[in-house]
Amino acid sequence: MKTVIGFNGSPRVTGNTSRLVQAILAGAQAAGAKTRLVHLARLDMGGCTACMACRQQAACSQPDDMGRVVQDILHADAVVLGSPVYMWQVSGQTKMFMDRLYPLLNPDFSTRLVRRPRLALAFTQGHPDESFFWPGRRREAGRDAGACPRGRCRPGLRPCRRGLSRRDPGGPGSGRPG
Ligand SMILES: Cc1cc2nc3c(=O)[nH]c(=O)nc-3n(C[C@H](O)[C@H](O)[C@H](O)COP(=O)(O)O)c2cc1C
């Protein structure tokens, strides 16, 4: 039986993101998968301390819930990561969670995942424009706020080729091919 874990990155456990992640999990369950929903806000989870212990081993030095979560991800067939858009970004809970996944990467940034789980990303937002949240928008947001962004903004996560496709791969004005 396939295992699918859904992570809700909103502090609201019954909010839009939670409902969206649960809808995806319900679909997986209907297809025969075993599913589990984890609310990031309910985890005992601190921020990465950059101790670099995970550069030597695929584990975190912090004795909180993330040790078990990383092990669960290592054995999952699919992961659903949901976040509300907060200030053109993922929520703070989601960012902290993503940082704590550093043990999944080798020092050369190749993956330590042996059975590479499929990844579904689920975002909710308040702005009516669907293209409002896309990676390049972070750069624009910084500029709009009066900063002077340098360099090129690149997405940190890409859906796997067999999994989801993005409706807006490059975003408006990104100049990136879809
Ligand atoms: C602190 C905060 C920042 C937000 N920033 C944005 C934003 O930049 N763009 C946007 O479209 N919506 C923004 N929203 C709205 C949320 O993304 C939207 O209401 C989302 O569906 C909330 O998800 P939830 O119900 O799972 O908590 C923000 C909401 C909050 C509380």
Task: For residue 136, give the H/E element and its range.
Answer: helix 135-144
Q: Residue 136 has what pLDDT?
A: 55
Any idea which residue has 């550069």 for tokens? 55
Q: Whose CA is nearest to atom 8 of ligand 1?
A: 87
Sorted by sequence, the CB contacts under 8 Å of residue 139 that are 6+ apart come out as 149, 153
49 and 120 assigned to the same domain: yes
- DSSP letter for 105, please: B
β-pairing, 78-86 with 34-39? unpaired
18 and 83 assigned to the same domain: yes
153 and 85 assigned to the same domain: no
Q: Residue 110 has what pLDDT?
A: 87
Q: Residue 111 has what pLDDT?
A: 85
Q: Which residues of the chain have pLDDT under 70?
A: 134-178
Q: Residue 133 has what pLDDT?
A: 74
66 and 12 assigned to the same domain: yes
- DSSP letter for 17, please: H
Q: Residue 158 has what pLDDT?
A: 38
Distance CA 101, CA 144 (A): 31
The whole domain housing 74 covers: 3-126
61 and 81 assigned to the same domain: yes
- DSSP letter for 175, please: -
151 and 108 assigned to the same domain: no
| 124 Cβ closer than 6 Å to some ligand 1 atom | yes
| 92 Cβ closer than 6 Å to some ligand 1 atom | no
Atom of ligand 1 nearest to the CA of 88: 8
Residue 85 is part of a domain; what is its CATH number?
3.40.50.360
Q: Which two tokens stand for residue 174?
A: 């990104």
43 and 112 assigned to the same domain: yes
What does the pLDDT look like over 112-160, one tens digit per residue? 887 778 888 888 999 888 777 764 554 564 555 555 454 443 333 333 3
54, exposed or middle or buried, with CB in 10 Å at 0-12, 13-18, 19+? buried
Atom of ligand 1 nearest to the CA of 20: 26
Number of domains in the chain: 2
Atom of ligand 1 nearest to the CA of 127: 11
